[in-house]
Structure 1
């Protein structure tokens, strides 16, 4: 499995008689297959010296061109495939010139995730197959939540409060990440999610004073995750403009109803600040992944609104120092208010 926001290295061992190695990449986005015909990339590296024992190819950036970051949505509680090109498959081969045994690797799953530096090279998905970093979440009674699962055939079902949903293997590449999409209005109290010997707990919260906002983002595993901000939502607008000074004197006179300073090229971007409400300290990891995400949306009943996280730095919170933990994040809508496309 490959996470393409971190470097992924394919290593070709070379022997004394090797002169060069060619790496061929075939990227699939629809149906799994074992073919290498019509590859998207073919790269050749020459052996630089007689003492060289291996050649490394870094491939992540080439693969990332093939994603299409379209979020999923269902108004009902359901188990969904990912959308097309949210997940990819890679076949590759190493072909040797001079001496060496050719190598072919087929059907490697590819997600647009990443690993932290401390996790080492070529990081993998969690062993429990749930593509979330915490085991406890507070969810919005009047909103939605998603539980992404790596569907590699290890597990046959996922259970939601005792109701099983079948995890079926398929040759459809988009089914490699299954999404247990919850309409939270179907549940009360706590919801127990189980897959194999692993489980996560969801606490359903009904916010009476504020209008909660569900934020969907691509997390470190390349899967769609939702965090709900339950408390105050503050919106603002930032104006951009140019100004010139008019000279409209005509025949020694001017009109007092004309602008001496005229604005033009005026547009704006709107911002919002969201507050999470009190959450466990484990949410620091959720916040970290939200801050690092390149694709963030507000969930608006299937109409996803693209936003950008505006925070360039953030102070994590701990229960020892901060007592009650409440996260406030700044967002910019990722478009001009006046359509300027």
Structure 2
């Protein structure tokens, strides 16, 4: 009892405010300890709690990532493109390819690729993907999203709808392929995104061709001999596509075929694996395009009716195309 009395006497000399603060601190510590004890009851609870925290952290990072940057650095469009390209790319982009995307401007006319807009170093690309991607060095320095939840979040965002993304990716590829130049060897050496752009743009154009602007841009690109030949040679298909109309027919781009016909494309031109555009439409199974060519006066000497069933060589070529 004496000890208890002494303790009370000593407490009388301690300021009341400090006693209250100490009491609150002890209550907080007890609450934290109780939460820790509760979490330690099962490993499942612990994992659920940590996963929840990580999920919220990723969401916060993604939201910050989607915010437009300082306009003074002139990278708003590049940031948007990097999101679309990363989410909907046919394969992971390499650091060198991502650097070319950032150097390609399509938001204003004229749409241009400019080597002066290239980042000084490939790894600077990571500044456009803060904490959300990782570089896989074993596979030619490819960019991969750091976690599947990032792609899930972006795919649900309206601005990254595959149709909207296809428009930007198509424009980027066409702009890039239009502005690069040089021999085949020089293009391969100096323009790291050339092969990728040549291989994938037609697939995205097919998704976006309902948009008149994209159809016109595609027809213009295919209609220019220089850009058409550049694309054909980069894609190693120069002998397969003999002309722009044949290429559009072969790939099933009905809207582009109409535009080319409106611009008086030679529908009787001979060449290509199947001989002419009508034969290509029949062999590839593009019935509507076949009828369209017939209505526009394609040669009748081919005596080829539409069967809808490609020949065996045609089937093989369809499977071989990366389109």
More relative contact order in 1 or in 2 (CA 8 Å, sep 6+)? 1
Fold shared by both chains (TM-score > 0.5): no
Task: Tell me the TM-score normalised to structure 1 length.
Answer: 0.25
Tell me which protein shows more helix as a share of its residues.
Answer: 2
